[in-house]
Amino acid sequence: MGIVARLDAAHPYVLSLTRFVGGLLFLPHGTMKLFGFPEGNHMNVAWTSIVGAAGIIEVVTGVLLMLGLQTRLAAFIASGQMAVAYWWRHAPNHWWPDNNGGEPAVLFCFLFFYLVFAGGGPIALDRLFAKK
């Protein structure tokens, strides 16, 4: 078996790993806003504020993505939130993501946008609930 065949065989599992890590890295953005953990710029904001709503989306979609549950819907919502975050908060400061602090928002946006189409991979709770 050649290297390309091995990489192709591992692809679905790497997709599941990427989905999990994306959710794992997204989750603390929400917990920081809502609970002050880990410590950050937005500590314990009002849940009814715009930043609080963003935190709720980040926590819920982060957990769903980690579990691979409702992956496509969670990824769609998270991708949209990151697009809004970029254009609302970062783009007005400068046109280039590296100069406006928006690189993480762009990366999350396109990672999650990819997951809308790719799904959660073989190691996901979506597989348990899929109709056969």
At 5-40, the pLDDT tens digits run 999 999 999 999 999 999 999 999 999 999 988 876
The model carries a pTM of 0.92
Q: pLDDT tens digits for 46-56?
A: 899 999 999 99
Tell whether 90 is covered by a domain.
Answer: yes
C-alpha distances in Å from residue 6, one per residue of 3, 11, 13, 16, 20: 5, 9, 12, 16, 21
Q: What is the structure's pLDDT at 19?
A: 98
Residue type, 106: V
Q: pLDDT tens digits for 65-123?
A: 999 999 999 999 999 999 999 999 999 999 899 999 999 999 999 999 999 999 999 99
Are 28 and 38 within 8 A, CB to CB?
yes
Tell whether 95 is covered by a domain.
Answer: yes
Burial 53-71 (b: 16+ CB within 10 A, else e): ebbebbbbbbbbbbbbbbb
Range of 98's domain? Answer: 3-125
Token pair of 14 as six digits: 């790497």
Tell whether 131 is covered by a domain.
Answer: no
Tell whether 130 is covered by a domain.
Answer: no
Tell whether 132 is covered by a domain.
Answer: no
* DSSP H helix total and E strand total for the chain: 6, 0
| Residues constituting the chain | 132
Q: CA–CA separation, 98 vs 111, rounded Å?
A: 17
Q: CA–CA separation, 104 vs 3, rounded Å?
A: 32
Number of domains the chain contains: 1
Q: CA–CA separation, 45 vs 50, rounded Å?
A: 9
Tell whether 16 is covered by a domain.
Answer: yes
Tell whether 17 is covered by a domain.
Answer: yes
Checking if the pLDDT of 42 tops 80, the result is no
Q: What is the structure's pLDDT at 41?
A: 67
Q: What is the structure's pLDDT at 91?
A: 94
Checking if the pLDDT of 132 tops 70, the result is no
Tell whether 91 is covered by a domain.
Answer: yes
Are 47 and 95 within 8 A, CB to CB?
no
